[in-house]
Amino acid sequence: IQVGRTGTLAPVARLAPVTVGGVVVENVTLHNEDYIKGIGNKGEVLREGRDIRIGDTVVIQRAGDVIPQIVDVVLDKRPKSAREFHFPKKCPCPLHTDVVRGETAAGEEESRARCSGEFACPYQKIEHLKLFVSRRAFDIDGLGEKQLQYFFDEGWVKEPADIFTLEKRNSKLKLEEIEGYGATSVRNLFGAIESRRRIALERFIYALGMRHVGETTALALARGYGSWEAFHDACLKVAKGDEEAMAEMDALDQIGDTVIKSIADYFGESHNRGIVERLTGEVEIIDAEKPKSNSAVAGKTVVFTGSLEKMTRDEAKATAERLGAKVSGSVSKKTDLVVAGPGAGSKLAEANKHGVKVLTEDEWLKLIGE
């Protein structure tokens, strides 16, 4: 079993070396647990009666640089001693955390098993850290992937909280003595880290790197709970299977079973809870603004199209959302308003087709009272 960077457990078969197209092949991918059993990702039988067992003789194919795969099992050559492979229930990482099979965004069981250790799993740590410092999360200048990898390899930054204690520890670390760093860049880095000690709740939630919790979902959760305390409390309850807390989360716009299960998995893992606790000890999380429900556009679905002259598209979207509107990228019968600037094309035509109300930018600003 190989653990991938996102925590997926990939089974690989070791073969007696064989030459295929001039290349010696010793490893073939087995994709996932179902594949070994001969079941495809839609539940169909891949190779009738031909599950793959330890000791089997197999037909393989190799295409380009991708890792070769098994096409068939030669049943005539299956020895009596051939054994079934039992997929591990624990991750091979030192944490031995439970292996889980999550759900895809469509609500189907994922074909690949993965470690539930997330930030705590040594195989997954660096990927989680990269997301943590990325532009849409903590957005820390001067801590790009290369630097982060270096700090990680040196053991200086093992989890998010460590980033915020770098300066305190620098009398020992002496970052300014690293080749290519220097006093100025170290000062700049510490400045950049300090400036991110205060962070908006939605960014903070996104930065935790929970599966299926992208920016939009993080924003919905932040708006729904308002404060970190309220959200964190709900997460801990959801992880314990508290039905009332689950129902409350489920009632939020854009939040469904997949997200709730993922949050439960994350906060159900004690290593993750520890990482979050140490991190919240270092940062200040700013409450989210609750959308105003008494605005003229609350609950309406709005589409912006064409060029806007008094605001950027992002500003327009943020304002509309703050006022409780839902901003969509495409026009349908469900659209309430289309704000069309110069150069509006197909979306304006769609709006006219469906009889959706169309406003100019100025009319929109007047409507929302700005």
Residues lying near Zn ion in the complex (CB under 5 A): 91, 93, 115, 117, 121
Q: 1 vs 318, which CB is nearer to Zn ion?
A: 1
Bridging pattern class, strands 114-115 and 99-100? antiparallel
Q: Which residues contact 135 (CB under 8 A, 6 or more apart)?
A: none
> Strand ranges (DSSP E) for 101-160?
114-115
In the complex, minimum distance from the CB of residue 152 to Zn ion, in angstroms, rounded to a whole number: 16
Closer residue to Zn ion in complex, CB, 115/316: 115
Amino acid at 24: V
- CB of 233 vs Zn ion, minimal distance in Å: 27
- C-alpha 9/C-alpha 99 separation (Å) is 8
In the complex, the smallest distance separating the C-beta of residue 91 from Zn ion, rounded to whole angstroms, is 3
- Whether 123 contacts 7, CB under 8 Å: yes
52 vs 115 by CB, closer to Zn ion: 115
SS3 224: helix
Cβ-contact 35, 46 below 8 angstroms:
yes
Identify the CA nearest to 239 among candidates 216, 217, 271: 271
Nearer to Zn ion, 91 or 199 (CB): 91
How is 93-107 classified by DSSP, letter by letter? STT-PBEE--B-TTS
* Under 8 Å between Cβ of 207 and 221: no
| Minimum distance, C-beta of residue 138 to Zn ion, in the bound complex (Å) | 24
Nearest approach in angstroms of CB 123 to Zn ion is: 5
Nearer to Zn ion, 9 or 148 (CB): 9
Q: For residue 119, what is the DSSP state?
A: G
118 vs 202 by CB, closer to Zn ion: 118
> What angle separates helix 145-153 from helix 125-133, to the nearest 10 degrees?
140
Cβ 298 to Zn ion shortest distance, Å: 44
Q: How far is the CB of 131 from Zn ion (least distance, A)?
A: 17
User: Do 262 and 324 form a contact (C-beta atoms < 8 A)?
Assistant: no
The residue (of 114 and 300) whose beta carbon lies closer to Zn ion is: 114
185/189 Cα distance (integer angstroms) = 6
Spacing of C-alpha 191 from chain mean position:
28
Q: Which is nearer to Zn ion, 115 or 143 (CB)?
A: 115
Provide the minimum distance between the beta carbon of 115 and Zn ion in the complex, in angstroms, as a whole number. 3
Measuring CA to CA, which residue among 368, 217, 223 is closest to residue 300?
368
SS3 260: helix
- In terms of CB distance, is 125 or 300 closer to Zn ion? 125
Q: Can you read off the two tokens belonging to residue 150?
A: 């270096």
Q: How far is the CB of 89 from Zn ion (least distance, A)?
A: 12
Q: Choose among 6, 8, 48: nearest CA to 30.
A: 8
